Chain A
C-alpha cells in the first residue's frame, strides 16, 4: 500500500491503531481456520465508531476491500484477509455501554467478549445464552457476523434470537441504526438479515442484546455408552418423552481421550459419552432427571453420573468446550467440520462417517450437539505425510455432502466464509443464490465488505501453509521452540 494512504489511515487511528510491519501483519494472516492464509496490506485497530467511519470512507474512495475481525477465532475463514485489502480489528472497542436489568437488555461495543456479557449481568441473576466454545475470547460482533451457536441452542436458539439492535457502518461510510431496544421495529427485519451475513454487509459498531433470567436449577447428567449410535438412540428417547433439555452433547472415544489429556474432566472411560442438561424450576428438573437415567439405560448406558456440584458441572463443560483444541494433543493437524443433519438420521450418518473414515485411512473424532443434529467431525491427519492433507479435505467434503443428502446443512454455526463457499451450490439453487446477491448488493453495492467470501466463483488467492517456518527471532537465536 502506498505511503500516502498509510499516512492517511495513520492520521485516523494513530500509531497505536496501525499495524504495518511485515511480521506483525502475519498475526492476522488467518483466523481459527489456519488452512488458508492471506497477508493483509494493513491492519487497522480503531478505537471509535467515528474512526471506523473515517477508515471506511477512505476505503470506499480508493475501492479497497475491507475485512472486519473480532478475535479471529472463527472456524470458516470469515476473517481471512482479502488480497490487497485492509483488516479492521474491533478488539479495542470493548466497552459495555449499558446494562438495563429491568428490561433484560445490554448494549455493547463490538469488541466485547461473549463471556463478558454474562459476567456483566450475572450478579443480577441473568445470562447471555449463546455459548460458542471460544466464548472467553470471541467477540460479540464476530458472533453476530457468524450467527454463532453453542451447546445450548437446542433450547435457547442461536445468536440471532438475542440481537435486537445493531449500529453498522455500510461500505460508503454511512452510519445506520437497525432495530432497537424494543421488539418488532418498523419495516423489514434488517437486524435479522444482518446477523449471519459474515461481514459482507458492513461493519458492526454497536449491538443491543437481550439477556435472560438464569433458571432456578441446572442439572447435568453424564451417561456412558458402548457406541455413539446407542447414545444417539438415547437422545431420541429423551425427546420422545416430551422433555426439552437445555443441551444434549455426544463425544466419542477419540474426542474423550483428547479432552481427558488436555483438561482432565474425569469422564467415564467409554466409547461414547452423552451429556444431558436439564434446567428450569427445581421441582420439575428433579422429577424429570429421574426419568432421563432409565431412558439412557434402556439404550445401553452402563454408567450414569450426575454432576454433584456447580464445580463438577463446570468441569464437565470445560472438557466438552476444550475438545476441539484438545484434539491437537492426539494429532498434529485436524480439520473441523460443522455439518447438520436431522437428528433422526444420526445413527445412519455416524455409520457412514465411520465407513468413509476407514476407506480414507484417516481417523475422525466426533463431538456433536446431538439435540440439534449439529455434527463436528474432526478429521485427523499429518501434514508432513504427502497426500494426507488432500485426503483429509476430501473426507471432510464427503461428510458435508452426506449431511446435505440427509436433508441437512453444510454449516450449523461456523459459517461459510472462505472454507465452504464452493459448497453453496450443493445446498442452494442458482435462484436462491441470486436472491442472496440481491440482498448483498442492497447493503454493499460496491462489493467492498469481505468481497471474496461466502459465494462460489471468487478466487481469494489464498496461500496454503507450508512446513513450519521459524520466526525471525528464532533465527536470530533470541528464542527457542520446544
Chain B
C-alpha cells in the first residue's frame, strides 16, 4: 500500500477521528518490525482512545503493533501482518505515588527512569532494573516481563504489579487487580497480561507495590578461573542467609569468570555481609567494584544487529553445565560468547561470529543443551535474515492449545501482534 493511498483511505479517516489527525502519522522504515512495514503510527491520548482504536482495527481486520519505548521490538517472531504501530508515548504520567501506602499508579507509556525519579523523591523505588530504563516504558517491560538483576531479591515484575488497566480488542477497558498490596478478588488477569507480548490486550496503566531505597549499596566482584568454580560459588551464596540484592556471573572467556554480588542496607550491615561473603568465597577474593556491572545485560544489546542474543532459563544448579557447554562448543566453531547468568538461573548469552552459518550452528547446539536440561531458550535478538527459519520461542509443551483458546477469547480477530508470540499466536 502506498502512503499516499494509505492516508486517504477509510482507516486513516476513522483513526484520525479517534485520536485527532496530529496523532496519526505515516510510518517510516524505522517503524518496521522485523522488516514488516506498517503504514502508520497512531498515538492515542487515553485508555478509551486506545480501546476505540483497537475496536476499529479489530472490525476492519487491521493488525496493530503496540509499542512503548521500542527497546524490545526485536523480541518475538516476525509478525504475519502489521498495519499500524500503536504508540503509548502520550500515556506517560505518574498518576499517584501513594508513598505512605508504598504504591504507585502510572500510565503505560511512562519510562522506567522517569518513574524511578518520581519515586526517589520519597526514598522509594520499583524493585526492578530492566534494560535501557531511559527508553523502556512501564507497558513495554510488563508486556515482555523484563525484570532485571534485582529480581533475585525483589521478585519478578509479576510479583510487583498490584493492578493493571487494559484495553481489549472488543473496545472495552478493563481493570484487573487493584491498588492494595493484598487482593484476591476475582481472577488474576494481571498475570495473564504480563509477559504476553501485547497479544491479549494493551496495558494502559499499572499499579505497583514499592520498596524503600536502602541507605547503602555495595557491589563486589571476584574473578574465578573456571565457569564451574563460579557456578559453585553462586550456589554456595544462594544457600547462605546473605541478603544479596544481585548475584550474577559474567564471562567472555571460559578461564576468566566474574562473579558479582550486591548488598543493600545500612552501612554497618554492608560491612558485615561483605565479611561473611569472604568466608563463603574462601580463596576467591571479593573486592568492591562499581555498580555499572549491573548494566552488563543491556550492554549485550549494543551493536548487536548481526549477533544472536538468547534468554535462557535453567535451574541454578544447571548454570555450571550450561556455561561449560557454551564455551566448549563455541571455541571450535569460532563463535565469540558473552554470558550473563543471574543467580535465579536466568541466563543471557550473546553469540558473535563471521556469517550466519556458524551462528546458526552455535544456536542449535545451545538450544540442544538447554533442551537436555529441560530449560527454555528464547532468541531475543538475531539478524533479520535468520528469523524466517527460526521460531525464536522454541516449543511450548502441552499447554499450547489452552493458550490458543485464551487468545481466541480475548483477540479472536488476531488484531494484536499477530504471529509474534509462541506457537503462532
Report which A residues bind B (CB closer than 8 A).
100-105, 125, 146-147, 149, 153-154, 157-158, 160-161, 170, 176-178, 180-193, 195-197, 213-216, 236, 239-240, 242-244, 280-284, 287-288, 340-344, 369, 372-374, 407-416, 420, 424, 427-429, 431-436, 438-443, 454
Contact = CB atoms under 8 A, between A and B. Distances in A.
Interface stretch (B254-262, B281-289, B404-412): B404-412
B357 interface: no
B391 to A, nearest CB: 10
A8 B105 CA distance: 54
A343 B101 contact: yes
Contact of B423 (A102, A187, A414): A187
Contacts of A424: 185-186
Interface string B185-198: 11111111011100
Given A147-B184, A372-B182, A184 B195 contact: yes
Interface residues of B, number: 86
Contacts of B200: 188
B186 A454 contact: yes
B375 interface: yes
Contact of A343 (B100, B195, B211, B421): B100
Interface string B172-183: 111110111111
A185 B376 contact: yes
B168 A435 contact: yes
A274 to B, nearest CB: 17
B191 A154 contact: no
28 contacts: A102-B239, A103-B317, A105-B315, A153-B181, A157-B155, A157-B159, A177-B397, A186-B422, A187-B403, A188-B192, A188-B195, A189-B158, A189-B191, A190-B192, A195-B191, A196-B188, A236-B100, A284-B266, A284-B268, A428-B186, A432-B174, A433-B186, A435-B176, A436-B187, A439-B187, A439-B406, A442-B405, A454-B186
A187 B421 contact: yes
Given A192-B158, A281-B265, A432-B176, A213 B239 contact: yes
A447 to B, nearest CB: 14
A193 B189 contact: yes
Given A192-B191, A193-B192, A240-B100, A340 B269 contact: no
Nearest to B147: A184
A189 B402 CA distance: 12
Contacts of B273: 281
B103 interface: yes
Given A195-B191, A435-B174, 17 more contacts: A103-B316, A160-B159, A183-B313, A187-B421, A193-B188, A213-B238, A242-B123, A284-B265, A344-B101, A373-B181, A409-B185, A411-B185, A432-B186, A434-B174, A435-B189, A436-B186, A438-B409
B240 interface: yes
B32 interface: no
Contacts of B240: 213
B344 interface: yes
A182 B172 contact: no
Given A184-B376, A186-B396, A409 B188 contact: no
A346 B378 CA distance: 45
A170 B399 CA distance: 11
A193 B425 CA distance: 18
Given A344-B98, A373-B181, A197 B187 contact: yes
B156 interface: yes
Contact of A283 (B159, B196, B269): B269
B400 interface: yes
Contact of A182 (B180, B265, B376, B423): B376
A344 B100 contact: yes
B186, B192, B194 — most chain A CB neighbours (10 Å): B186
A188 B313 CA distance: 15
Contacts of B406: 188, 438-439, 442
A46 B13 CA distance: 62
B368 interface: no
Nearest to A369: B182
A105 to B, nearest CB: 8
A281 B158 CA distance: 27
Contact of B402 (A125, A154, A190, A340): A190
Contacts of B323: none
A280 B245 CA distance: 12
Nearest 9 CB-CB pairings of A with B: A192-B191, A284-B269, A412-B182, A438-B409, A283-B272, A409-B183, A431-B172, A344-B100, A242-B212
Given A176-B398, A183-B346, A415 B184 contact: yes
B174 A429 contact: yes
B402 A177 contact: no
Contacts of A342: 98, 100-101, 103, 179-180
A188 B52 CA distance: 25
Given A280-B243, A411-B185, A372 B180 contact: yes
Interface in B376-417: 376, 378, 393-400, 402-403, 405-406, 408-410
B125 to A, nearest CB: 11
A340 B396 CA distance: 38
A158 B396 CA distance: 27
Given A178-B399, A180-B374, A408 B215 contact: no
A186 B192 contact: no
B399 to A, nearest CB: 6
B133 to A, nearest CB: 20
A177, A283, A340, A435 — most chain B CB neighbours (10 Å): A435
A427 B345 CA distance: 38
A240 B212 CA distance: 9
B266 to A, nearest CB: 6
Interface in B72-112: 98, 100-103
B189 A439 contact: yes
Contacts of B123: 242
Contacts of B345: 103, 182-183
Contact of B101 (A125, A149, A373): A373
Nearest to B160: A157
Contacts of A435: 168, 172, 174, 176, 189, 410
B145 interface: yes
A435 B409 CA distance: 9
Contacts of A436: 186-187, 189
Nearest to A435: B174
B314 interface: yes
Given A186-B422, A187-B399, A408 B180 contact: yes
Nearest to B273: A281
B214 interface: yes
Contacts of B188: 147, 160, 192-193, 195-196
Interface string B294-321: 0000000000000000010111110000
A100 B346 CA distance: 18
Interface string B44-61: 000000000000000000
Interface string B219-236: 000000000000000010
Contacts of A280: 243, 265, 269
Contacts of A103: 315-317, 345
Contacts of B243: 215, 280-281, 284
